């Protein structure tokens, strides 16, 4: 799952309703032990220094927003459905 810290970034990915309003979720996300990757590079978490376990999530920066990717559904909870215009 892919998340951004700025709603303005996520707005373009929102669901458009038939009457022109848009919707998106405000979610709680458990990032765990994350690693920051260079700008515009978002990929699966690499191995940690122990070469046995992967990072829990990935942080990046793109189009003016910090973005996060998590790879387990149970780490994300859609707290609110926001409807806006």
| Residues in Cβ contact with 50 at an 8 Å cutoff, skipping those fewer than 6 apart | none
Give 27-37 pLDDT, tens digit per residue: 999 999 999 87
pLDDT of residue 39: 64
Question: Which string of DSSP letters, residue by residue, matches 26-68?
Answer: EEEE---SEEE--TT---SPPB-TTSS-B-SEEEEEETTEEEE
Q: Taking Cα atoms as reference points, which of 45, 47, 42 lies closest to residue 65?
A: 42
Give 38-80 pLDDT, tens digit per residue: 766 667 788 898 888 999 999 988 888 999 999 889 999 999 9
| pTM to 2 decimal places | 0.81
pLDDT of residue 61: 86
Q: Domains in the chain, ordered, with CATH?
A: 2-84 (3.90.228.10)
Is the per-residue pLDDT at 5 higher than 80? yes
The residue count of the chain comes to 85
């Amino acid at each position: 799952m892919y998340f951004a810290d700025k709603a303005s970034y996520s707005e373009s990915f929102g669901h458009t309703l038939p009457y022109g309003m848009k919707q998106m979720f405000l979610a709680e996300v458990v990032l765990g032990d994350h690693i920051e990757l260079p700008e515009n590079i978002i990929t699966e978490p690499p191995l940690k220094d122990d070469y046995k376990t992967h990072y829990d999530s990935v942080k990046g920066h793109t189009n003016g927003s910090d973005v996060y990717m998590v790879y387990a559904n149970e780490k994300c909870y859609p707290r609110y459905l926001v409807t806006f215009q």
